[in-house]
Structure 1
Amino acid sequence: MYKICSERKKDDMEMRKIYSTTLLELMKKDERIVALEADLMGSMSTDIIQKELPGRIINGGIMEAHIAGMAGGMSIAGKVPFFHTFTAFASRRCFDQLFMSISYQKNNVKIIASDAGITAVHNGGTHMSFEDMGIVRGLAGAVVLEVTDGVMFKNIIEQVAQTEGFHWIRTMRKNAEKIYEDGSVFEIGKGNVVKDGSDITLIANGIMVSEALKAADMLKEKGYNAAVIDMFTLKPIDKDLIIKYAEKTGKIVTCENHSIHNGLGSAVAEVLAENYPAKMRRVGVKERYGQVGTLDYLMKEYELTAEDICKNALELL
């Protein structure tokens, strides 16, 4: 059961430290779990695992595709590998291995894809993935997630460690906006209604959930009551919740730190087209590549702000 945080603030701990500390706790309890890195232990704070459990973490160097293949082999040998690298490399560089070594063989591998979308900030366009969710959701049986804040990240890591299958977990590395109260538990495959409403529905994931909540406040000032849904599982997507709110509000805006093609907007549109056609708009990256910049600059540059969500909502309203 999840509970929405009443106060708008940043998480106390960076997402990368939540990952490393949670994984270390799990590794101490379960000898099957191993950590794999592509020369990013310092970047993801997993060097704490190296200090405490040196035999349980492998730095495979800047050879991401090779490490993905290793993860598949380790799974066959009975291990539970957690492989972290930046989102761009985990998806574009490793796609054949994701298919052949993990998904096709139904191996039990967890990919932690960090610096998602514009959160790659100063690493720039080569490290900025706007297409990864579309790449991975095309793989049969893959579970595709984008965590919202530290509370969710910790709980999802704990869940997938005990759940068979290929899990893709997209995240940022720095402090997220806190959405959920400590102790919240999340059901993979089910969206979270973080704010109810009757006039329009904003469906968001990742860093866009907090922007959607801000946009809902803006719409309230204009006399509209917007629902906000955190669709943290892209696949399998919560069809029932989408249909319910399409029927309830008749208008939907999707909000994603990803290309509008083949990500959240496309997945929601597929559900609507087959079940309950409704008016919709997609807020996301439109036919562009990444660039260097601060997060605030990039949010505005790629039209991902609360103001952009509000503008699209008002067009429908």
Structure 2
Amino acid sequence: MADIKNLEERVVKAEVKVEKCKGTIERHKKQYEKKVQALIKKGVDLTGLSKEEIDKVQDGYRQTELNWDIYDVKGKLEDIKGATKKLEEAEQILVNWNDKLSIEINKDKFIQDNAPQVIKDFLEDWKKKAYEWHIRRYDAYQEFKEELRSERNNLIIEFVKANPEVAERYLDENGNIQDYWQKDLINIRLKGLESHLKENELDYRSIESRKSNFAGGNILKMDSMYDEKERLNWLDKTLEREKKAKMLDLIHRISKVVGEITDASSLRISGKGSIDGFVIGDKGKAKVNTIDAGGWNIQCWHYRTLVDPVK
């Protein structure tokens, strides 16, 4: 329901925007009409004329005080035109959000009408495992970043100490890195240092690549959020969307084989979280078998569900 609630909020905001645009157009039209009526009293009637037609009328008043009044009328026409364009854009955005909301509502209805409870339980269990894995992986990533930083700093210190003849500005009288540079090792510049870091996969690009390979997209996104509540809320919504997509995919695949599901009572969730068994529908019977992997440190628990027709 989280996606539906979010989309409903966007629809409301889009509706407010549309009404605001309509109000702006009405305001410009009233101002336009007021200016046109004022000119009529001065002997110039621009009622219903286009901008191009007003240009021709204006040619006869270029050197008079009415010239600027006519400019004001044209300006209001441009305001109405611009506001109308914004209204069209706002209305299209509203249509788009309503379409997306309708799709999500239909997805939820399809799931509620067609997904046996055992499949809902199976995927809720998947989400729980995935959530817990991401939390552990996020924490491990923080440690991994610190390890890389430490490895890089130690390598820089070793390199500087091994080349005292060219690194005097970085060393104290005892041959150790000065306190000032200890806090800013990344900015030490010595010939050959960058190559040395690269050889050990501790240059900037190598570190970023290693971090990316360790973390993956979701963890990197989480790492960009400093507020824990925001981070966990994002993770929950992301996994909820993925859960819904997985459920739709599985139900569609089962329904493609058996038609409308009439009996899923033999489906079972194993102790390790896999779902297996048989599903009966109005057009046939299918065997469901889950192949799973991962689930602890390196790899998030994932699965592949096979749906085969039973003759």
* Bin of the TM-score, shorter chain as denominator length: under 0.3
Could you tell me the TM-score, scaled by structure 1's length? Answer: 0.21
Could you tell me the TM-score, scaled by structure 2's length? Answer: 0.21
| Structure with greater helix share of residues | 2
